[in-house]
Structure 1
Amino acid sequence: MVIQAVDTPTSASIKNLKEGSEYQFRVRAVNKAGPGHPSEPSAKQVAKPKFVPAWLKLDDLKSLTVKAGQAVKWDIQIGGEPAPEVTWSKNDEVLISTESLQIETKKNAHTVLHIPSAKRSDRGKYTLKVKNSTGEQTGAAELNVLDRPSPPQGPLQVQLYITTAFAAVGFHLSS
């Protein structure tokens, strides 16, 4: 390919590249003295579209019911060009990665939310939002964590019913 420029910055568009393939480029100057030596090859470049709206694979984001102590993991494919910003939230509160809730994002490939040992307090609506300059997409899933009931808290009012045929105990929480 030959491109000529006179006193202006030079750029080139190369057509018919195969998407996903890697390419390297070299340039060389040609002037009245003839052609110069070619440059060193560029770093490898992957052919890809310049602008693709952010997207996520909604089929991977499913509501889950787990027992307390079990692990929870959502591994969601994402993409877009430029690479999207990824935001996980729970009940509309933005999440950050901690020891008990880990978030990992591989740029333009997938994002993972992992809870190694679910607790009842982890239940709620989890939302994933991917956004770039050309678009955004949001998906949500519910997490339900089953656990043994905790003991009642607060003052209890206990009622006893005793007859010659049976005995019954009733209670309710006082406020």
Structure 2
Amino acid sequence: MARVQIRKFMLVDSAYVPKILSGKKTTTIRFGDYEAKPGRDVYVVSRPSDTAVAKVLIRGVTKKRVGELTNEDARKDGFRDVKELLNALTRIYGPLDAEDKVSVIEFELVKRVEPVPLKLLKGLNYREPGEVAKLYVESGVSAGKDVDIIVSHIHEQGLKAALRKYGPARVKKALLEAYHKLFAEGII
């Protein structure tokens, strides 16, 4: 089985997002061999919308066999007990054997983020739109009037407000142009 690296983001089912945001879910248990570097911040991306909703700090990764999972593992993962956890894992991965290997990825919520599509986050090299907007406005660079107006709106009122006012296509284009201008100027 190939090792899976978690570098910039981890996908989670939208049903688990409220538990992560409330701090009731501090692990994710994945079938197979997962690696994540302790001390690294990664985005939590809600499926199926593929929207980043939070940033978490990876605390560690423990390898176990399914038969070694405990009630404590289940509670940290947001379940009442190991039976409920195993039912959820079976729904996701199919039937599991007691000898199957899982990776328990422990994390800590760093912050909620204004929901941002993963595709846009990748285009901004994993910089949050608000961060790009702030740098762009404060640096005084310009990539054109439309970009200036939209990015200023994001900086002042947030991504959601800009999406409502200008639409997803214009906002995405403006943010990417702002990012590339900041990059070309050596600011980002």
Q: Flag whether TM exceeds 0.5 (same fold).
A: no
By percentage of residues, which structure has more helix? Answer: 2
Task: Report the TM-score when normalising by structure 2.
Answer: 0.24
By percentage of residues, which structure has more strand? Answer: 1
| Structure whose CA Rg is larger | 1
